[in-house]
Chains A and B, each alone.
Chain A
Amino acid sequence: MTSTNSASVAAVEAHSREFLVFSLGEEEYAIDILKVQEIRGYENVTRIANAPDFIKGVTNLRGVIVPIVDLRIKFHLDKVEYGGQTVVIVVNVGERVVGIVVDGVSDVMTLTPEQIKPAPEFGVTLSSDYLSGLGSLDDRMLVLVDIEKLLTSEEMAIVDRVSE
């Protein structure tokens, strides 16, 4: 299993972390690979009425009902298409399993602490609260997303607030 391997690798290369790199439009984003459960195609999603538009609905993942979030809509990308290439990354956040729709998954990168730069204050659509930094790798720039913080945030409306 990837996660076990990466865990041991991470232990060997002290403090280096592995990230799964995916693309949304032109940008490259990365999330901690330990959060990733699996990658699958986009299919068979049941719409949920009266939910925000970036919540595509729920799907059946081997008997578990999993919500599907389209990050492209959440990040206001112009082109949102669903095709054979559309990929769902199934992530584990907290106790939950959530699928996120992205344009494509490219590779798995190992980043050393030196390669991770703090995220500057920016972004209206993606608050820097949800970023764990920027990864610079040669001439590539990866936006490191704290997927757990993002998906459990209030604006994602996936988690019921206790205060309700």
Chain B
Amino acid sequence: MDISDFYDTFFEEAEELLGDMERHLLELDVDDPDAEQLNAIFRAAHSIKGGAGTFGFDVLQQTTHLLENLLDHTRRGELVLRRDIVDTFLEAKDMLHDQLDAYRNGEEPDPEAYERICKILQAMALEEMGKSVEGGATAQPEAAVSSEANPEPPVTEKSDEPPSGDASPSDAGSGRLSVALIGVSDKDRETLVEELGNLGKVLDQKGDAKRYVVELETSSSPDDIEAVMCFIVEPEQLEIEAAMGSPASTEPPAQPKEPAADMAKTDDPVAATPPAVGQKAPGDGGWTSTPAANNPPTAKPKAKGGSNAKSGGESTSIRVPVDKVDQIINLVGELIITQSMLDQTASELDGVSHGALVNGMSLLQRNARDLQEAVMSIRMVPMDYVFSRFPRLVRDLAAKLDKDVELITEGKSTELDKSLTERIIDPLTHLVRNSLDHGIETPDAREAAGKSRSGKLTLSAQHQGGNILIEVIDDGAGLNRDKILAKAQANGIAASETMSDDEVWQLIFAPGFSTAEQVSDVSGRGVGMDVVKRNIQAMGGHVEILSRPGEGTTTRIVLPLTLAILDGMSIKVGEEMYILPLGAVLESLQPTDEDLYPMPGDETLLKVRDEYLPVIAVQEVLDVENACIKPTECIAVIVQGEGRRYALLVDDLVGQQQVVVKNLETNYRKVPGVSAATILGDGSVALILDIADLHRLSRNKKEARQAHLPASSHKLVPLKEVEPS
């Protein structure tokens, strides 16, 4: 098997690790960092480095290496965390992400960006490590770990040295190192010597451009030195060894045990395990065994990468292509239908003489349902998957815009189909950016408006009536009606003063629309909202805006279920079977004449416990033949959708069942009043009704029918508008 076969696994894993890293970094309490979190961050960097080394992604590996060194110091408390350090770490994480993307697309990462981030990390290393020299012993395990994990050539180089000189990597305390620069230009050399001067005391320097040797007295480990210098020169151009006569080389051979023990003690399991396997040598043979560890540079990280991968994810999860899961879901759906058909046939048989069959059938039914449920849950992922990327975005944006924003997420555990979660990220990002940029005011403006200085941005998700409702709520200034209207008119969009608020809000979804006075790099180019709308419509959903001046804006995304099981109530109208989403059904009752109030314009109201609900007859809206027409002979199902509540007249309630939601739009188109379809036990198709859309459809139909009557009748029907909770 070619190693490139594993690329995808690595990319996915690295992506997850970076995600973890970011999450931990964001959660990190700068003043009192949690050791576990620091370890987790370090482990993530370490694993990525290992993998990158295996696959020969040098730039990624080296960047991670620098980051890892810093993280290592951090987790051992040698580097005191500050807000800006966390920021730098986050920036480095972003850079790693970019590099990963580049590799994924088969490109080399941007060298400039690489150099820049290296410089930043170097600078931090220089600055911070100077403070961390006190404990020589603390630097020691670091050196051991790094040289262990470090696949870079200098390790190989060291192995060329006689074993006696090999103590350098573990050089403790202030020691003498001889750093050889090979083939380095004069200019770079000057810089390097200067850098070395920062790390320790330069005792002697001599040589030519081909090989220039600097004798250095320093407490830094060779690895740190290398890490510092490798943004100027290639690692191959460096040779670091303990200078003869340095304290390190005179130390007795007893020393080897120490780093090994230290390493085992301080290192986390991930880092410790591979060396333990591949390198039992350090324990018994001391540093003479270093050459054994110095296999060709690529060999070692390979082993490491492999073991990391195992400890990283495979123990708790497996990666499976989505189509495979889809295939299983389809097959199970088929199985359920077949089972229902069998069940129907079996129920016609005599239960006494076919007892075994009947028992078997009920067992089969239970097993099939369990199987279906289990399979369905595979595709569902909690919204946390989406929401978890916003804390970072909000933090960065708020800082950039000088605003104080508190992010609240609700309904993280609401499950949504994986394919939808992926597609909702972009639109949501747009909306969050908009809220931060245009919605929430600056702290001063908020204070002037009598609000708390810190703005509140809420992301919430919930299931509602078979839909998934995702809301982005800010408590900012709200939309400015006049401004939008003026802007629309200026842009040549048809708009008039008499439009309702809802209609005005819809204008901002027009292409090229932005009321921001200044185009910022956050938003304001006016390409956002129409894209948001298009994306959401492409998913078969819709988006609405609720806004009140001074109180904030709520953007509400309603996504229909594409792939999900739905708890449905099957109803019969005439000879036709329909499914109502059970979540939308509140109750059902048989209306009596006393409760029905006819209204002008073919409308009827139904009184249910002091509440007057509009009545919609399914047979009328969907033109069903041979259905019962007299309301008192029908059954009224009280339903609620998108805040509207009404009574739906149906012929009969058939039963409750879980149905597999099948998209109608795959091969057909959006059908008004219908959200999707499903396949019933007998193999026929039943349509799943869309409660909110059915209401719209009914209204449109009535309006169309009564177009000749002025003063439209629907004014007489007070629609119960329920405020968003």
**A interface with B by C-beta (< 8 Å):** 44, 46-51, 57-60, 62-67, 96-98, 157-160
Q: Which chain A residue shows the least CB distance to B333?
A: A63
Cα A63 to Cα B685 with chains together (Å): 10
- Are B667 and A66 in contact (CB-based, < 8 A)? yes
- Are A98 and B679 in contact (CB-based, < 8 A)? no
Cα A49 to Cα B671 with chains together (Å): 8
Assess A160 versus B667: contact at CB under 8 Å? Given A47-B576, A58-B685, A59-B685: no
- Are A63 and B334 in contact (CB-based, < 8 A)? yes
A-B contact count (CB 8 A): 73
Q: A53 to nearest B CB, angstroms?
A: 11
Q: B696 to nearest A CB, angstroms?
A: 12
- Are A64 and B666 in contact (CB-based, < 8 A)? yes
Q: A35 to nearest B CB, angstroms?
A: 14
- Are B670 and A60 in contact (CB-based, < 8 A)? no
- Are A65 and B663 in contact (CB-based, < 8 A)? yes
Cα A44 to Cα B677 with chains together (Å): 14
Q: Name the contact of A46 in the complex, choosing from B623, B672, B684 (C-beta under 8 A).
A: B684
Which of B667-688 touch A at CB < 8 Å?
A: 667-674, 677, 679, 683-687
Residues of B contacting A67 in the complex (Cβ-Cβ under 8 angstroms)? 667-668
Cα A51 to Cα B672 with chains together (Å): 9
Q: Which chain A residue shows the least CB distance to B534?
A: A162
- B665 adjacent to chain A (CB < 8 Å): yes
**B interface with A by C-beta (< 8 Å):** 330, 333-334, 337, 576, 621-624, 662-674, 677, 679, 683-687, 697
Residues of A contacting B624 in the complex (Cβ-Cβ under 8 angstroms)? 49
Q: A96 to nearest B CB, angstroms?
A: 5
Q: Which chain A residue shows the least CB distance to B331?
A: A63
Residues of B contacting A47 in the complex (Cβ-Cβ under 8 angstroms)? 576
Residue with the highest number of chain B CB atoms closer than 10 Å, among A51, A65, A157: A65
- Are A60 and B685 in contact (CB-based, < 8 A)? yes
Residues of B contacting A159 in the complex (Cβ-Cβ under 8 angstroms)? 669
Residue with the highest number of chain A CB atoms closer than 10 Å, among B623, B671, B674, B685: B685
Q: Which chain B residue shows the least CB distance to A162?
A: B534
Residues of B contacting A60 in the complex (Cβ-Cβ under 8 angstroms)? 679, 683-685
Q: B244 to nearest A CB, angstroms?
A: 74
Cα A58 to Cα B669 with chains together (Å): 11
Residues of A contacting B686 in the complex (Cβ-Cβ under 8 angstroms)? 46
- Are B667 and A49 in contact (CB-based, < 8 A)? no
Could you write out 30 A-B pairs with CB less than 8 Å apart?
A44-B685, A46-B576, A46-B684, A46-B686, A48-B671, A49-B673, A50-B623, A50-B671, A50-B697, A57-B685, A58-B664, A58-B685, A59-B684, A60-B679, A60-B684, A63-B330, A63-B333, A63-B662, A64-B662, A64-B666, A64-B667, A65-B662, A65-B664, A65-B685, A66-B667, A96-B668, A157-B669, A159-B669, A160-B665, A160-B670
Residues of B contacting A96 in the complex (Cβ-Cβ under 8 angstroms)? 666-668
Residues of A contacting B662 in the complex (Cβ-Cβ under 8 angstroms)? 63-65
Residues of B contacting A62 in the complex (Cβ-Cβ under 8 angstroms)? 334
- Are A49 and B621 in contact (CB-based, < 8 A)? yes
Q: B371 to nearest A CB, angstroms?
A: 16
Cα A1 to Cα B664 with chains together (Å): 28
- Are A160 and B330 in contact (CB-based, < 8 A)? no
- Those 9 A-B pairs whose CB atoms lie nearest each other, nearest first: A49-B622, A46-B685, A67-B668, A160-B669, A96-B667, A65-B662, A60-B679, A65-B677, A44-B684
- Are B687 and A46 in contact (CB-based, < 8 A)? yes
Residues of A contacting B673 in the complex (Cβ-Cβ under 8 angstroms)? 49-50
Q: Name the contact of A58 in the complex, choosing from B333, B337, B621, B677 (C-beta under 8 A).
A: B677
**Other contacts beyond A46-B687, A66-B667, A67-B667: 9, CB < 8 A:** A48-B671, A48-B674, A49-B671, A50-B671, A51-B671, A58-B668, A63-B334, A64-B666, A158-B668
Q: B531 to nearest A CB, angstroms?
A: 14
Q: Which chain B residue shows the least CB distance to A93?
A: B667
Residue with the highest number of chain A CB atoms closer than 10 Å, among B333, B664, B668, B673: B668
- Are B672 and A50 in contact (CB-based, < 8 A)? yes
Cα A159 to Cα B666 with chains together (Å): 10
Q: A75 to nearest B CB, angstroms?
A: 20
Cα A60 to Cα B577 with chains together (Å): 15
Residues of A contacting B687 in the complex (Cβ-Cβ under 8 angstroms)? 46, 48
Cα A67 to Cα B670 with chains together (Å): 12
Residues of A contacting B663 in the complex (Cβ-Cβ under 8 angstroms)? 65
Q: Which chain B residue shows the least CB distance to A57?
A: B685
Residues of A contacting B684 in the complex (Cβ-Cβ under 8 angstroms)? 44, 46, 59-60
Cα A160 to Cα B667 with chains together (Å): 10
Assess A63 versus B669: contact at CB under 8 Å? Given A49-B621, A49-B623, A50-B623: no
Residues of B contacting A158 in the complex (Cβ-Cβ under 8 angstroms)? 668-669
Q: B543 to nearest A CB, angstroms?
A: 15
- Are A63 and B664 in contact (CB-based, < 8 A)? no
- Are B679 and A63 in contact (CB-based, < 8 A)? yes
Cα A49 to Cα B337 with chains together (Å): 25
Q: B651 to nearest A CB, angstroms?
A: 15
Q: A103 to nearest B CB, angstroms?
A: 23
Residues of B contacting A44 in the complex (Cβ-Cβ under 8 angstroms)? 683-685
Residues of B contacting A58 in the complex (Cβ-Cβ under 8 angstroms)? 664, 668, 677, 685
Residues of A contacting B666 in the complex (Cβ-Cβ under 8 angstroms)? 64-65, 96
Residues of A contacting B664 in the complex (Cβ-Cβ under 8 angstroms)? 58, 65
Cα A49 to Cα B662 with chains together (Å): 18
Q: Which chain A residue shows the least CB distance to B540?
A: A160
Cα A63 to Cα B666 with chains together (Å): 12
Residue with the highest number of chain A CB atoms closer than 10 Å, among B663, B671, B686: B671
Cα A49 to Cα B685 with chains together (Å): 14
Cα A117 to Cα B576 with chains together (Å): 47
Q: Name the contact of A98 in the complex, choosing from B576, B667, B670, B683 (C-beta under 8 A).
A: B667
Residues of A contacting B669 in the complex (Cβ-Cβ under 8 angstroms)? 157-160
Q: A99 to nearest B CB, angstroms?
A: 9
Cα A58 to Cα B697 with chains together (Å): 20
Residue with the highest number of chain A CB atoms closer than 10 Å, among B334, B621, B683: B683
Cα A50 to Cα B693 with chains together (Å): 13
Cα A67 to Cα B622 with chains together (Å): 17
Q: A63 to nearest B CB, angstroms?
A: 5
Q: A31 to nearest B CB, angstroms?
A: 17
Q: Which chain B residue shows the least CB distance to A67?
A: B668
Q: Which chain A residue shows the least CB distance to B701?
A: A50
